[in-house]
Structure 1
Amino acid sequence: MKKNVISLGIFLISTFSFAQVGINTSTPNPDAALDIVSVNKGLLPPRLALVSTVSPAPLSVHVAGMVVYNTATVNDLIPALYYNDGTKWVLAKSSGITTNVLSSTGNTITSTVNGVASSTTAVKTVSNTSSGNVLSTTVNGVAGAAVPIINSNALSLSGSSLTSTVNGIASNAVNLAPAITAATTNLLSSSGNTMTSTVNGIARTAPIINSVTNTVSGNTLTTTVNGISSGSVTLPQGVNIYNSDGVLTNHRVVSMNRKELFFSENSANNILFDIGSTFAGNIRLYSVGSVASVIRAGVGSSRMLDMDVLSNGTSRIMSAGNTELFIGTTTNSAPLIFGAGNTRAILTGSGNFGIGTTSPSQKLHVIGNILASGTITPDYVFEKHFDGISKLKPSYTMMDLEQVEEYTRLNKHLPGVPSASEIEAQGGIVLNRAAEINLEKIEELYLYVFELKKEIKALKEKNIHLEKIIIEN
């Protein structure tokens, strides 16, 4: 401690005497207020966490010449040596840490170096030069790649009008009539279906036949070429095209050759296919009313099966008459599958029906929930018990346990539950009604338990009272 006091005194005497301080030297530089000499030590400035370059914090005010080392990375600051110019903190260039951010708006480019922004004009000069069909553009003294001026040039002639189209832009038509002399040549030649017209040495080609159609009415054939119809030709009967009824003499095969075969409807907008000779249409294709398309198979006029497509896109299969509509398979190994999108239901050959499964193991096998309506939740049990009257089922009454015991002794089933003979007579049990009855009996059991609990509680209290009397006596 004494040694430190002596050193401090020497330091103060030295400061007051010469207004200079020298550390590790007795001859400080005459222009320096503080001269430090060291071969293996550095100068460690104050280390502060600055807030921003414009704020003096954590100092109270900006002081020109103040030097600190910033330890914070915040706002526009980085860890580095900063000096204060009296209005803000400035990054010391000797730190070697520099930031440069470029941005542009319109023709102005901005460079922000160490938080200091400067702007200039991006494009200052633009000049275009051409040589022949080549165009060059020079921006700010830098020449770009040369590009052709004219990429396409097409001439078209309509009558005596000439049009030039350059780079897709058409010129005004020029009338060549004054330049065309009376000496005009036109030579026609053909090869296959192509005709060539050579006018004044300029050749153009076009197809000779653009369209050919054949129409047959009965055994009369008409050919139309380029919209001009020929005279009709009567075909011999041997080609089996009839204008009256005909008879097949043997089996016949019509090769479609990847072509479509159309049947034209009759006056009633029907196409009929018959078995027998009644011409009533055992199989009929037609449309009527809201039904856009119908395929009907019928026997007579009262037994029919329709496959319909309505005008709104709805599809239907319907059977008319009082006979059954059977949809199924003919062998036990082939299942019947019902599909809607990717959802499937299946009826197997063994008679099991599955929903949500392709291999049902029971007569009805459902994977998922079943929602049944047509019944009510038996809340009337609690409603009648606690309110004395039920709005849901006014006729409901609940027996006491003695009455239930007597009823089951005589009838061998619970009150309100169908007997085995009743279930057999109606052909089985109604599942949603059975679920309602089961829930009704469960709720009644709860009420019986509530009553028994009250009785047990009363008996416990009575036993406690009796035990107290016995102990006191």
Structure 2
Amino acid sequence: MKSNLLVFLTLFTTLTVCISSAQCNNPVIFPASNNAGTGGIVCLDGSIVSSVPYPKICFENIRGDMKMVYKDTDTLFTFTKEGRLGIGTLTPSRLLDVNGSANINGDTNINGNVTINNHFLKFAPANNMDAIIQRITPGNMIVNSGGGTSSLYLNYASVYNAGTGGVNIFDGGTTNFAKLWITKGIGNGIESVGGNLVISPSGGRVIISDLSNPNLKIPTANYKLIVQSGILTEKVKVAVQNSANWSDYVFAEDYNLMSLYDVEKYIKKNQHLPNIPSAKELVKEGLDLGEMQAKQMEKIEELTLYMIEMKKEIDSLKKENSELRKKNNKS
């Protein structure tokens, strides 16, 4: 460290004594310093601090600390005996301490932690250029929100100039991604309701499963959400697109209600009820909850019609039986 300081002093001493050819013939010796505080100030033009022109750039060598000062305003930089370089500060607390803004035009390698005391980390690439945070060696990329009740926010708020494109998650390439966003009332569909988490796959599905599990059966139909091992919920509501998707057509006057004899023949031949998918079909295609509920309701309504018809027949038989009894009693 002492050798570095000597080189530093030699360079700046040479600079101060070579402002002009006359000064080069009359070299200025930089004032020595020690821990007792002796030393002094020498200016770039080789003059004393108070001489004309004034103010000027000078060097202080007090207690072994080298300070470059624009007299008589602020310290430009400080080089301490501990090897610390301060820019804009008299008391650098690190090997490099910059009190103010800094521009770096080029790559920067940092071997250690980076602490940002302000709450912004800003990137300013050219327009339409991506700003990228990337790990260039194998391993995990971890973003931690901190301890306590700290949270992690993505695409946080318009007050911080957040964009409206949500959070896109890519798995290689630039087209295979899922978009995640929480809306604030923009749009006309379900995403327009404030506070909803919307997952919008790009031509794909949302699958919650261990895809390596050989027992996972993904239907051939283009279902958007696939969950392995079931869903636990207190309520399920299935949307019905229109009245034609429900079974009230059974009560229409022109509905062709099969006779119970025909139902019996169908069951003996197919081993399942008419208009109800077989077990083989369900294993292959899965069970559409809304559609199946409508078909089950269709059978319940048909049973109701059968029961009404049977009730009429029973009542007719009762009446006929009653009349026959009356005749028998008279005879």
TM-score tier after normalising by the smaller chain length:
0.3 to 0.5
Larger radius of gyration: 1
Larger helix fraction of residues: 2
| Structure-2-length-normalised TM-score | 0.43
Larger strand fraction of residues: 1
| Structure-1-length-normalised TM-score | 0.32
